[in-house]
Amino acid sequence: MKFLTEYRDPELAQRYLQEIKNTVTRKWTIMEVCGGQTHSLVKNGILSMLPKEINMVHGPGCPVCVTPLNLIDKAVYLAEEKNAILCSYGDMLRVPGSEKSLLEAKANGADIRILYSPLEAVQIAEQNPEKQVVFFAVGFETTAPANALSVVHAHRLKLENYSILASHVLVPPAIEAVMEDEESHIEAFLAAGHVCTIMGTLEYYPLVEKFKVPVVVTGFEPVDLLQGILMTVQQLEKGEAKVENQY
């Protein structure tokens, strides 16, 4: 498939891998921020192919993992309200709250619907005018536009029974928290391309200036990641710290 197969080209991937091996002269610790990057690194066996000098650390880029406990509790509370429907992505149901998870609330009779798009939640609200429909809006910068669109769509439909419980998380503060942890020892970051599609790259410049670490924006395919790692290693070996966009 055009625009996809070239980013999975094994020959190109091997070329970048060899360039990384030729460039690296000492140990470096790099964090890939996004869970999608982590998934691709593991799925495609990239971690085992990298030279032993490259230590990849998995970052906090999973919205399920960074959703605050109190928001899980709020979601459970709303789901258990009379005449309420809570809509959520499936991966949120097993996340434990302080007393129970959404899955346990659903087992106890709460009306909790699993969906794949916030617009589905608007449709449920339209079909159930007698009930309050709440969408548990979890995610990083990439999910915020679609969640906002659902509110706009509900307003256009003049729905008064649709709302969202927002848990939008920003990537830069997460990176800053990692860098301020004295035990992290992270020396560079691979930032997620789809986040930068929404936000651009300017939000990373203050982090680079403050912590003097490279930030390289990458895609999610093997060639993307290997090129991004190469660009990162090149900066580290030269003693540079800047924002670059592989994506």
CATH fold match for the domains 10-62+171-245 and 68-168: yes
CATH superfamily of 10-62+171-245: HypD, alpha/beta domain 1 (3.40.50.11750)
Q: Are 24 and 17 in contact (CB under 8 A)?
A: no
Q: Where do the structural domains in the chain lie, given as residue ranges?
A: 10-62+171-245, 68-168
* Dihedral of the alpha carbons of 194, 196, 211, 48, in degrees to the nearest 10: 20
pTM of the predicted model as reported, rounded to 2 decimal places: 0.85
Of 3.40.50.620, 3.30.70.100, 3.10.20.740, 3.40.50.11740, which CATH number belongs to 68-168? 3.40.50.11740
The DSSP output letter for 192 is E
pLDDT grade, residue 188 (50/70/90)? Answer: very high
List pLDDT tens digits, range 95-151.
Answer: 999 999 999 999 999 999 999 999 999 999 999 999 999 999 998 898 999 999 999
Q: State both tokens at 16.
A: 């970048």
Q: In sequence order, which residues have a C-beta less than 8 Å from that of residue 58 and are 6 or more positions away?
A: 31, 32, 35, 38
User: Is residue 222's pLDDT more than 60?
Assistant: yes
C-alpha span between 118 and 89 (Å, rounded): 9
pLDDT cut 90: percent of the chain above it: 83
pLDDT at 2: 58
| 195-to-132, 145, 156, 220 alpha-carbon distances in Å | 31, 11, 28, 12
User: Is residue 154's pLDDT more than 80?
Assistant: yes
List pLDDT tens digits, range 6-30.
Answer: 767 888 999 999 999 999 999 999 9
